Chains A and B, each alone.
Chain A
Amino acid sequence: MAEHNSIWEALGFRKASGVGEAGWGRTLIVAIVSFIYFLPVLFIIFTAFKPQDAALSVPPTLSPTSLFGLIPGQFVFTPTLENFGSVFMRSMTAGGAPEPTGFDRYFFNSIVIASSSVLLALVIGTLAAFGFSRYPLKGNDTYLFIILTTRMLPAIVVIIPVILMFRVVGLSGSYTGIILLYTAFNLAFTIWMMKSFFDELSLDVEDAARIDGSSDTRVFFKIALPQVIAGLAATFVFGLILTWNEFLFALLLSGPDTRTVPVAMNQAVSSGGRGTDWTLLAAIETLFLIPVFLVTFFLQNHLLRGVTFGTVKR
């Protein structure tokens, strides 16, 4: 038994002697799983840097460098930035002169639409969540349930009445329309997320603030809100990812000027009758990843930090 233990220990599977002390074995497993997870993303990023022929070659090229001769030459490609250029400027007809593709506009659209709808949903949703948590209505749970029903149906089902409604009120193809729609969709998620964060807070702290002379508004902004910053960050990131990548509503409800990147991407790769341009697609996707990557990265600290920790003993 003792030997057995020592073999496992030698491999790094020892029992952690304290918090924050995983062995090398466990770390290695996590590293491998993470790498497998990341592989598709990595493949797309590499493809974005590949010349056309390298992207379609069999066997596939796998690496931009030979890693000091470790990887055989046939798997190595020479990286190029050409694809990124053609995201914004390329010839639309065979042999034609390069012309602007409008992708700068589409990126701008995506950023404006996604961020404003997620922020709007966050503002409204957080207020609503606080209300649902602290001032419950008669049949509170019923309303919460109803709020969630729009997300229970597939988007394709919901889209039909939405298209009709937008046609009637003239919101189709406008920024306002698509932002409002995304806000409405994010609201359900935001309210549910934020309500659970508010539910976790100690009510005594808020009672204390009231006794200390705080109005309900001040209790919300000064006491409750600072305690759920981690929740706000998490909700913002998840909402942003969902909205950023949304395709169906954007396809059917955005106009030529308000087109978002996922819609434009679809059109860019399937137009021109030359088959799918994989390197162009990969280049758009790589650029498309960057904003969400950055936001998530910068909010990561907030995602992990719990501000209430240790102030209220349970």
Chain B
Amino acid sequence: MPTIEIRKVTKQFGAFTAVKDADLKVEAGEVVCLLGPSGCGKTTTLRMIAGLERATSGDVIIAGQRMNELTPQERDIAMVFQFYALYPALSVGQNIAMPLHYENLSKPESDARVMKVAQIMHLTEVLDRMPNQISEGEKQRLAVARAIVRDPNCFLFDEPLSRLDVELRHSMRGQIKEVLTGLSKATVIVTHDQLEALTMASRIAIMKDGVIEQVGTPHEVFAKPVNVFVASFIGTPQMNLVEADLQSFGGGNANVVLAGQPLSIAADPAVSRLKPSKVTVGIRPRAFTTAQEKADDTIAAQAELIEPMGAETLIHARTLSGGDIRVVVPRDKRVKVGEALHLKPDPRQTHFFGEDGKAVRT
């Protein structure tokens, strides 16, 4: 089966380690997104899979075969580049036909294949034009068309949608997902846009500083981030990460002092193993219920900035100890600047991170 696997792959540029001991397996028919901030090594990882960079150590295995020493053309892959990388001197049709060159197809056969993908990607009208004469969306579709014209082992996408405007990006996301579902190949997509990753991927690999921090389904990485970085990176608005003092654990509840206030909250049993110490409590902005009145186990804060986001409203509030806290409330809940809020976090969406930044979870 055409799968992609990398084992303990490391890439060094001089003294700089771009990717460190990366492990990842992509099954046939699976779409894995490499997600991370700029410069985290995700494109380098992709280029090593493609054979455009040579891994310093570790194994790149495609379709069950170790391919470290093979050239890109020997690996039988298709890749869509961030800047499309269209062949400027060839027409749209010739661009699509380029990967067919080595299959030694007859002219009618090759034309038929080109026509077929041109229909899928809605490019039949512009086949005779040059790449500089077509629109941005068409360029993007052409880049995808060129990748799917062959029947490769796997697909690699490098930030495929980053150059499109919001609307086009939305529709292309759907189109690419549809095309990929039909092909059922192992696919790796590099992106820095978490929405892209969450919507397109079967699984997401989150990278930071050359290290893959967590691999999981979109649901897993959102609901069970393994560390502070993943917690802060996934989800908009960002998760609140508040320093707190863990004092004791009893009856399934963790007793902490958070923003200067005592708070007792149901926590994962694993938290009981922690000694009283500094912890980071992560609470999603949508996980608060707000009350006007002071109540037990709430965090008191004052609304400082109100950002209506359409269906919901984002409130930036300041706690008594001066920390920032983001709260998302439904649109119909009116909050005024300066208003006192008493925030009750939902225990199911509250995460405890130990001093090492790792999630404390069974």
Interface size grouping (class) on chain A: 20 to 34
**A213 B73 Cβ-Cβ under 8 A:** yes
**A311 B131 Cβ-Cβ under 8 A:** yes
Instruction: List 3 A-B pairs, minimum CB-CB distance, nearest first.
Output: A226-B89, A310-B132, A311-B88
**B101 A212 Cβ-Cβ under 8 A:** yes
Interface residues of B in 41-86 (CB under 8 A from A): 50-52, 71-73, 75, 77-79, 81-86
Docked CA distance A213–B75 (Å): 9
Interface residues of B in 78-126 (CB under 8 A from A): 78-79, 81-90, 98-99, 101-102
Interface flag for B170 (CB, 8 Å): no
Given A209, A309, A310, which contacts B87 in the complex, CB threshold below 8 Å?
A209
**A227 B99 Cβ-Cβ under 8 A:** no
Report chain B residues within 8 Å CB of A313: 83-84, 163
Given B78, B81, B89, which contacts A204 in the complex, CB threshold below 8 Å?
B81
Given A213, A226, A310, A312, which contacts B85 in the complex, CB threshold below 8 Å?
A312
Interface flag for B146 (CB, 8 Å): yes
Docked CA distance A214–B82 (Å): 20
**B163 A204 Cβ-Cβ under 8 A:** no
Task: Mark A residues whose CB is within 8 Å of B.
Answer: 202, 204-205, 207-215, 218, 222-223, 226-227, 307-314
Report chain A residues within 8 Å CB of B98: 209, 212, 214
Given B79, B101, B132, which contacts A208 in the complex, CB threshold below 8 Å?
B79
> Which of A207, A214, A227, A308 gathers the greatest number of chain B CB atoms within 10 Å?
A207
Interface size on B, residues (CB 8 A): 30
Q: Given the interface contacts A213-B73, A313-B163, does A307 sit within 8 Å of B88 by beta carbon?
A: yes
Report chain A residues within 8 Å CB of B102: 213
Docked CA distance A202–B99 (Å): 19
Task: Mark B residues whose CB is within 8 Å of A.
Answer: 50-52, 71-73, 75, 77-79, 81-90, 98-99, 101-102, 131-132, 139, 146, 150, 163
Report chain A residues within 8 Å CB of B99: 212-213
**A210 B73 Cβ-Cβ under 8 A:** yes
**A211 B78 Cβ-Cβ under 8 A:** yes
**A213 B83 Cβ-Cβ under 8 A:** no
Docked CA distance A288–B90 (Å): 39
Docked CA distance A222–B132 (Å): 17
Chain B residue with the shortest CB-CB distance to A210:
B72
Q: Given the interface contacts A309-B132, A311-B132, does A211 sit within 8 Å of B88 by beta carbon?
A: no
List, sorted by A's number, 7 A–B pairs whose CB atoms are closer than 8 Å: A207-B50, A207-B79, A208-B79, A212-B98, A213-B99, A308-B88, A311-B132
Report chain B residues within 8 Å CB of A207: 50, 52, 72, 79, 81, 85
Chain A residue with the shortest CB-CB distance to B74:
A213
**A212 B146 Cβ-Cβ under 8 A:** yes
Chain A residue with the shortest CB-CB distance to B99:
A212
CB distance from A88 to the nearest CB of B (A): 44
Given B73, B77, B79, B85, which contacts A205 in the complex, CB threshold below 8 Å?
B85
Docked CA distance A63–B74 (Å): 71
Chain B residue with the shortest CB-CB distance to A310:
B132
A211-B51, A213-B99, A215-B73 known; 19 new pairs, CB 8 Å cut-off, are A202-B83, A204-B81, A205-B88, A207-B72, A207-B81, A207-B85, A208-B85, A209-B87, A209-B98, A210-B72, A210-B73, A211-B77, A212-B99, A214-B101, A218-B101, A222-B90, A223-B89, A226-B90, A311-B87
Docked CA distance A213–B102 (Å): 7
Report chain B residues within 8 Å CB of A311: 84, 86-88, 131-132, 139
**B73 A307 Cβ-Cβ under 8 A:** no
Docked CA distance A209–B99 (Å): 8
Docked CA distance A193–B290 (Å): 68
Report chain B residues within 8 Å CB of A205: 85-88
**B87 A211 Cβ-Cβ under 8 A:** no
Report chain B residues within 8 Å CB of A222: 87, 89-90
Report chain B residues within 8 Å CB of A218: 101
Docked CA distance A208–B132 (Å): 17
Q: Given the interface contacts A211-B73, A212-B99, A310-B131, does A227 sit within 8 Å of B85 by beta carbon?
A: no
Docked CA distance A277–B282 (Å): 96
Report chain A residues within 8 Å CB of B78: 211-212
Chain B residue with the shortest CB-CB distance to A215:
B73
CB distance from A275 to the nearest CB of B (A): 56
Docked CA distance A311–B143 (Å): 11
Docked CA distance A208–B83 (Å): 11
**B73 A312 Cβ-Cβ under 8 A:** no
CB distance from B92 to the nearest CB of A (A): 11
Docked CA distance A223–B101 (Å): 14
Q: Given the interface contacts A207-B72, A210-B72, does A312 sit within 8 Å of B84 by beta carbon?
A: yes
Report chain A residues within 8 Å CB of B101: 212-214, 218
Chain A residue with the shortest CB-CB distance to B132:
A310
